C-alpha cells in the first residue's frame, strides 16, 4: 500500500535528525517487508517562500511533488497556540455561549412533552414516550422533532460554527507566528 503522511517541525530542527526519525517511522510501519526507511532523502526547499499557513504549504507540496515516493519539506507560518487577549476571550465566550445553547437544544425532544405517545411523521408509527430515548424513530430513523425545533437547533449550530470561525480568524490574523517546516513523506507497506 502506498502511504503519504505529513509532519510538522520547528524551523530550527536538525534535518539529519528528521531524516533519521522518519526513516525509522517508515521502517517500523513496514517491518514485515524488511523496509530500512524512506526510499529517498527529504528535499528541503529552502529557496521557496514561507507560506502563509499549513493549507497553503500543503497545496504547494502537492504542486511541486515530482511523483512517486518524493519526500519534501516547505516552510509555513503557524500562529501561536497560546495567544490570548481580551478580544479573543470575548470571541471565545461568545463561542462557548453559542455552543451551550446548541447543546441545550439538542436534547431528546420526546422526554419534554406531556403526551403519552409520540407520532412519527415519516412512517406514521405511534411510540410510547417513555420508551423513546433518541430523537430518531426506531423504525424508519426519521427525526421525530417538529420543524420548529429542527430550525432552532440548526440556527443554534450555525451560530456556534460562526463564533468558532471568528475565533480562528482572529487568532490567525493577530497571533504571533512561528515558522515551521511541513514535511511530506511517502513509503510503502
Are 160 and 93 members of one domain? yes
Same domain, 183 and 170: no
For residues 22 and 78, membership in a common domain is answered with yes
The model's pLDDT over 144-183, given as tens digits with 9 standing for 90+, comes to 888 988 898 899 889 889 988 888 888 877 878 889 999 9
Could you read off the pLDDT of 2-55 as tens digits, one per residue? 788 999 999 999 999 999 999 888 888 877 766 777 888 899 999 999 998 899
Write the pLDDT tens digit of every residue in 56-113: 999 999 988 887 788 999 999 988 767 777 888 888 888 888 888 888 877 888 888 8
SS3 of the chain: the string is: CEEEEEEEEECCCCHHHHHHHHHHHHHHHCHHHCCCCCCCCCEECCCCCCECCHHHHHHHHHHHCCCCCCCEEEEEEEECCCCCCHHHHHHHHHHHHHHHHHHHHCCCHHHHCCCCEEECCCCCCEEEHHHCCCCECCCCCCECCCHHHHHHHHHHHHHHHHHHHHHHHHHHHHCCEEEEEEEEEEEEC
Q: What is the total count of domains within the chain?
A: 2
Domain shared by 158 and 182, yes or no: no
Please indicate, yes or no, whether residues 11 and 70 belong to a single structural domain of this protein: yes
pLDDT the model gives residue 184: 92
Question: Domain range spanning residue 40?
Answer: 2-82+176-188
Amino acid at each position: 500500500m502506498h502511504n503519504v503522511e505529513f509532519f510538522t517541525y520547528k524551523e530550527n530542527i536538525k534535518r539529519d535528525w528528521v531524516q533519521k526519525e522518519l526513516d525509522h517511522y517508515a521502517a517500523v510501519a513496514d517491518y514485515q517487508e524488511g523496509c530500512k526507511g524512506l526510499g529517498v532523502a527529504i528535499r528541503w526547499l529552502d529557496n521557496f517562500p514561507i507560506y502563509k499557513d499549513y493549507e497553503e504549504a500543503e497545496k504547494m507540496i502537492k504542486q511541486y511533488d515530482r511523483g512517486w515516493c518524493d519526500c519534501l519539506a516547505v516552510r509555513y507560518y503557524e500562529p501561536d497556540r497560546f495567544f490570548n487577549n481580551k478580544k479573543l476571550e470575548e470571541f471565545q465566550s461568545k463561542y462557548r455561549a453559542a455552543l451551550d445553547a446548541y447543546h441545550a437544544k439538542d436534547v431528546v425532544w420526546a422526554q419534554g412533552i406531556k403526551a403519552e405517545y409520540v407520532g412519527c411523521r415519516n412512517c406514521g408509527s405511534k411510540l410510547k414516550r417513555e420508551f423513546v430515548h433518541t430523537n430518531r424513530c426506531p423504525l424508519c430513523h426519521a427525526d421525530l422533532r417538529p420543524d420548529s425545533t429542527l430550525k432552532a437547533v440548526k440556527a443554534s449550530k450555525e451560530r456556534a460554527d460562526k463564533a468558532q470561525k471568528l475565533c480562528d480568524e482572529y487568532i490567525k490574523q493577530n497571533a504571533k507566528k512561528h515558522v515551521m517546516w511541513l514535511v511530506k513523506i511517502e513509503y510503502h507497506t
